[in-house]
Amino acid sequence: MEGIGTCYYRRVHHRLFPEGIDRFYTPFLSVYPNLAFRKRDLREIRPAAGECPEDTKIRRMLVPQILARNAKEILWAAQQLSALGFSMIDLNMGCPSGTVVGKGGGAGMLSDPGRLDRMLGEVFSDPDFAASGVTLSVKTRLGLSDPEEFFTILPVLSRYPLREIIVHPRVRAEQYSGHPHRELLRRILWSTQIPVGYSGDLFTAEDVHRFRDEFPEIPHILLGRGIVSDPSLARQCSGGAPLSVNELKSFVQAVTTEYEAVLDNERQLLLKLKELWYYMGALFVSRDGSDTERLLRNLRGAASMSEYRNALYALFEKCTLGGHFSGIA
Ligand SMILES: Cc1cc2nc3c(=O)[nH]c(=O)nc-3n(C[C@H](O)[C@H](O)[C@H](O)COP(=O)(O)O)c2cc1C
């Protein structure tokens, strides 16, 4: 997830909650029109100076996701990533942001199935791409404004040897509102031979178990906001224990330490941590009748790290774990 699932976050997550996770996806790596990655994105994919064996292990589980707008950018990115040792890449076809869509990237790729067809045709007929052995998956929404759009997009995708189609079954106009259109998943499964993965509103282990029972033919689930809210979610999905207060404290402390080492100032650090609390805050329930929302507001409104630490202390003092993220924090 952009801004959240960074290399620093993944390192801590993997150390403390390794169970139940097969793959990490990078936040999308933008390809610039002059064929370059952003400098900060390179940190996501390049071996870090002084990389420890754990980091190498995480990189082996890593699928870089690219945000490209045309075949030339995809082919360039595939070549760069292959040279760095990656054999799987994922193409973002779901980002709903206006700037991204306006330039034809992310969900903007869904606006014109003919253009998508030509683009994929160019990618898959490229001899260097074939020789690289890199496999491509797509992470897609259903369309721009009507979920039925997907049934003109899917035949195009199905013409190409994609590794997987990971569907977040919302349209761009819905952003994150309402519910994913799971009622269309069966039709999607019938309409393609390509393996289908799923992403959307799986916030608790119960949600995941229910989904698996309903769709046993979709083995690959991509956890998003749910695992950011509860870092133990994948462990719980594979039968492990729920998150404990001490684990959450250690996780937050370790993420803070990672970011302290790389961010320039306190303001940036606070922004990063507050973004996580947007999701993790939903886990807390009051122990003594105090207003959890007020405690969280203090945390999100902290103007300095010392205010933040006081607010965090009060939250852990007065609350316990027991809530869960439900799509709205
Ligand atoms: C803050 C944020 C950042 C995201 N960044 C990405 C991204 O970089 N690439 C991507 O494919 N999806 C991204 N997504 C979408 C999620 O991967 C996921 O498909 C979506 O949130 C629905 O799943 P969830 O309900 O489990 O979160 C992002 C979502 C959010 C809320």
Are 187 and 150 in the same domain? Answer: yes
Per residue in 163-206, pLDDT tens?
999 999 999 999 999 999 999 999 999 999 999 999 999 999 99
Q: How close is the Cα of 1 to the center of ligand 1, in Å? A: 5
Nearest CA to ligand 1 atom 17: 224
DSSP letter assigned to residue 244 = P
Are 276 and 314 in the same domain? Answer: yes
Are 110 and 212 in the same domain? Answer: yes
Are 135 and 263 in the same domain? Answer: no
As a whole number, mean pLDDT of residues 260-289 equals: 95
Residue 153, amino acid? I
Per residue in 65-118, pLDDT tens?
999 999 999 999 999 999 999 999 999 999 999 999 999 999 999 999 999 999
Are 191 and 172 in the same domain? Answer: yes
Ligand 1: residues with CB < 6 A are: 1-2, 4, 27-28, 65, 92, 94, 139, 168, 199-202, 223-226
Q: Look at residue 264 and tell me whether its pLDDT is greater than 90.
A: no
Are 227 and 291 in the same domain? Answer: no
Q: Look at residue 329 and tell me whether its pLDDT is greater than 70.
A: no
Contact 295, 319 (CB under 8 A): yes
**pLDDT computed for residue 47 by the predictor:** 81
What's 136's domain CATH number? Answer: 3.20.20.70
Query: Best of 167, 168, 174 to mutate for ligand 1, by most ligand atoms within 8 A of CB?
Result: 168
Q: How close is the Cα of 279 to the center of ligand 1, in Å? A: 13
Cα 329 to Cα 293: distance, rounded to the nearest angstrom = 10
User: If we measure between CA atoms, which residue out of 271, 279, 277 comes closest to residue 229?
Assistant: 279
Question: Which atom of ligand 1 sits closest to the CA of residue 1?
Answer: 5
Are 252 and 128 in the same domain? Answer: no
Question: Which atom of ligand 1 sits closest to the CA of residue 90?
Answer: 11
Domains of the chain: total: 2
Mean of the per-residue pLDDT values of the chain = 96
Are 182 and 271 in the same domain? Answer: no
Q: How close is the Cα of 176 to the center of ligand 1, in Å? A: 9
Is 327 part of any domain?
no
Q: Which domain holds residue 294?
A: 245-321
Question: Which atom of ligand 1 sits closest to the CA of residue 226?
Answer: 26
Is 65 part of any domain?
yes
Helix (H) or strand (E) holding 74: helix 71-83
Burial of 98 (0-12, 13-18, 19+ CB in 10 A): exposed
Per the listing, tokens 């999308």 go with 28
Nearest CA to ligand 1 atom 12: 1
Helix (H) or strand (E) holding 213: helix 205-214
HSE-CB at 94 with a 13 A cutoff on CA atoms is 29
Per residue in 201-229, pLDDT tens?
999 999 999 999 999 999 999 999 999 99
Q: How close is the Cα of 200 to the center of ligand 1, in Å? A: 8
**pLDDT computed for residue 20 by the predictor:** 96
Are 67 and 162 in the same domain? Answer: yes
Query: Best of 4, 166, 225, 326 to mutate for ligand 1, by most ligand atoms within 8 A of CB?
Result: 225
Are 73 and 149 in the same domain? Answer: yes
Cα 116 to Cα 233: distance, rounded to the nearest angstrom = 35
Residues paired with 167 in a beta bridge:
140, 198
pTM of the model: 0.96
Nearest CA to ligand 1 atom 6: 1
Are 230 and 249 in the same domain? Answer: no
Cα 140 to Cα 119: distance, rounded to the nearest angstrom = 15
Cα 315 to Cα 310: distance, rounded to the nearest angstrom = 9
Is 328 part of any domain?
no
Are 200 and 314 in the same domain? Answer: no
Q: How close is the Cα of 168 to the center of ligand 1, in Å? A: 9
